[in-house]
């Protein structure tokens, strides 16, 4: 496989590596099930992080996993930092670095996140969200696709090299991080704690077909607090209902979303997508009593950011939007306050001709006989840090997942297997190989 600047892989070694991935298929499914059983919601990642540390340590590559804390005081001034939602105590990321005896190829970071989003209404799931279930060749469970399957592919790709009696002939960094789903500060901390790799590859799930990420939007999280005027419901007109005021605010956000999606605002990477910028009302809490006019409500909003448009500009636009909404006569004097916690993230383009993109594309073609398609994601990943602030290249390529962030999330086990094979041979061609 001489294209994409990959080092040639001896045919015998290639056969041995692919055979080893096959022989590890049951282990891969077992590890995926184990990881899904960890209910690694925000703030509850410790068990899953321990499992990943054990998986890295068990690879036989002599890896000594280390903990990488998120030091807010050190990171707060760094580009890409997002305002935290909670303390980082007891939630250290896990990283492990393999060093070769004799360096031949280029270094590589393989990274995944352990955090998952809430399961939503668990009663809507066919099987409980944190009890993995296999049906029709798919493993179901929250986080199965996004992105515990990717973590499994990383571990199993390395395990296969080792089983074939080989190891990477360049530095290979492995990391399992927190908070991909709300800040990215876990990945930011790891990036600054390790030497700069020649590339970063993240097996985030694809869009339902084999794909390579070539762009992603940014995201800003805003929290709007609405304070009305309470009254007994018999004098309802004397009060100002904070929950009803939230509806006026939502209209303003929808108008903003329409403006942001206009064709002339679209980055070329999103030319084929007529609605890349999504504004989501993720949480709405408020009110005190069914027979009292609601005094206070809080709206949690996620706003997409077009590449080329700064997240800090979007923040300013949201502040202006909220200030203008406060003057809407229908609010009748309700007070609005906005704060920004969670994502403050720029969009990003992952060049389709960068070497790591070519390497993954060529390896996917060689392994599966199919062409990768290009994917411009309307959500974000941790890959942005390496591209925007890490001075290196990055992209995402991962298994076929369905219903991520939804009900009955699942991942195709055949796709996990394919991605593992591609990762193993990408490591081999990118880093080179030496005897273990």
> Do the Cβ atoms of 136 and 161 come closer than 8 Å?
no
Q: Which is nearer to Zn ion, 146 or 400 (CB)?
A: 146
> Do the Cβ atoms of 108 and 206 come closer than 8 Å?
no
Instruction: Tell me how far, at minimum, the Cβ of 332 lies from Zn ion, in Å.
Output: 42
Contact residues: Zn ion, CB under 5 A:
146-147, 204
Instruction: State the Cα–Cα distance between residues 378 and 147, nearest whole angstrom.
Output: 17
Tell me which residue of 405, 391, 354 sits closest to 5, measured CA to CA. 354
Instruction: Tell me how far, at minimum, the Cβ of 204 lies from Zn ion, in Å.
Output: 5
In 200-354, which residue ranges form alpha helices assigned H by DSSP? 242-260, 311-326
> H-helix or E-strand containing 435?
strand 433-435
Question: What is the token pair recorded at 67?
Answer: 């903990």
Instruction: Tell me how far, at minimum, the Cβ of 433 lies from Zn ion, in Å.
Output: 29
> Do the Cβ atoms of 198 and 169 come closer than 8 Å?
no
The residues with which 174 forms a beta bridge, in sequence order, are: 96, 110
CA 236 to chain centre: 45
Instruction: Tell me how far, at minimum, the Cβ of 26 lies from Zn ion, in Å.
Output: 25
Q: Which is nearer to Zn ion, 116 or 243 (CB)?
A: 116
Q: Which is nearer to Zn ion, 119 or 204 (CB)?
A: 204
Q: Which is nearer to Zn ion, 92 or 204 (CB)?
A: 204
Instruction: Tell me how far, at minimum, the Cβ of 183 lies from Zn ion, in Å.
Output: 13
68-73, long-range: CB within 8 Å, 24+ apart, which pairs? 68/92, 68/93, 68/94, 68/95, 68/175, 68/189, 68/190, 68/193, 68/194, 69/93, 69/189, 70/178, 70/179, 70/185, 70/186, 70/188, 70/189, 71/189, 72/185
> H-helix or E-strand containing 25?
helix 25-37
Instruction: Tell me how far, at minimum, the Cβ of 404 lies from Zn ion, in Å.
Output: 7
Q: Which is nearer to Zn ion, 167 or 410 (CB)?
A: 410
Instruction: Tell me how far, at minimum, the Cβ of 116 lies from Zn ion, in Å.
Output: 9
């Amino acid at each position: 496989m001489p294209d994409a600047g990959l080092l040639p892989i001896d045919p015998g070694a290639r056969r041995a590596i692919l055979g080893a991935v096959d022989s590890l298929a049951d282990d891969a499914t077992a590890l995926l099930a184990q990881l899904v059983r960890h209910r690694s919601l925000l703030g509850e990642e410790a068990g899953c992080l321990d499992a990943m540390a054990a998986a890295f340590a068990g690879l036989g590559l002599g890896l000594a996993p280390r903990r990488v804390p998120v030091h807010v005081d050190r990171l707060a001034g760094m580009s890409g930092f997002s305002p935290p939602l909670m303390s980082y105590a007891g939630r250290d990321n896990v990283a492990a670095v393999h060093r070769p005896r004799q360096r031949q190829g280029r270094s590589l970071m393989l990274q995944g996140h352990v955090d998952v989003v809430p399961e939503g209404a668990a009663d809507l799931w066919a099987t409980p969200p944190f009890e993995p279930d296999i049906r029709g060749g798919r493993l179901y469970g929250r986080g199965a696709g996004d992105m515990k399957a990717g973590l499994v592919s990383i571990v199993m790709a390395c395990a296969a090299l080792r089983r074939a009696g080989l190891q990477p002939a360049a530095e290979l960094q492995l990391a399992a991080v927190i908070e991909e789903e709300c800040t990215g500060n876990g990945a930011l901390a790891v990036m600054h704690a390790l030497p700069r790799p020649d590339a970063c590859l993240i097996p985030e799930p694809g869009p339902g077909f084999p794909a390579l990420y070539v762009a992603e939007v940014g995201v800003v999280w805003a929290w709007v607090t609405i304070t009305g005027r309470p009254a007994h419901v018999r004098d309802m007109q004397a009060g100002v209902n904070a929950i009803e005021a939230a509806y006026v605010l939502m209209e303003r956000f929808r108008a903003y979303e329409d403006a942001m999606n206009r064709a002339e605002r679209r980055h070329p990477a999103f030319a084929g997508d007529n609605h890349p910028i999504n504004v989501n009302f993720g949480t709405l809490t408020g009110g005190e009593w069914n027979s009292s006019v609601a005094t206070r409500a809080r709206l949690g909003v996620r706003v997409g950011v077009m590449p080329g448009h700064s997240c800090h500009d979007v923040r300013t636009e949201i502040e202006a939007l909220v200030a203008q909404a406060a003057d809407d006569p229908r609010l009748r004097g309700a007070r609005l306050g906005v704060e920004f916690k969670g994502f403050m993230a720029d969009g990003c383009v992952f060049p389709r001709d960068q070497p790591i993109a070519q390497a993954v594309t060529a390896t996917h073609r060689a392994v599966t006989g199919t062409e990768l398609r290009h994917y411009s994601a309307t959500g974000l990943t941790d890959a942005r840090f390496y591209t925007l602030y890490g001075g290196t290249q990055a992209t995402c390529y991962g298994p076929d997942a369905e219903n991520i962030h939804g009900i009955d999330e699942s991942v195709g086990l055949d796709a996990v297997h394919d991605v593992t094979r591609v990762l193993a041979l990408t490591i081999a061609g990118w880093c080179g190989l030496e005897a273990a």
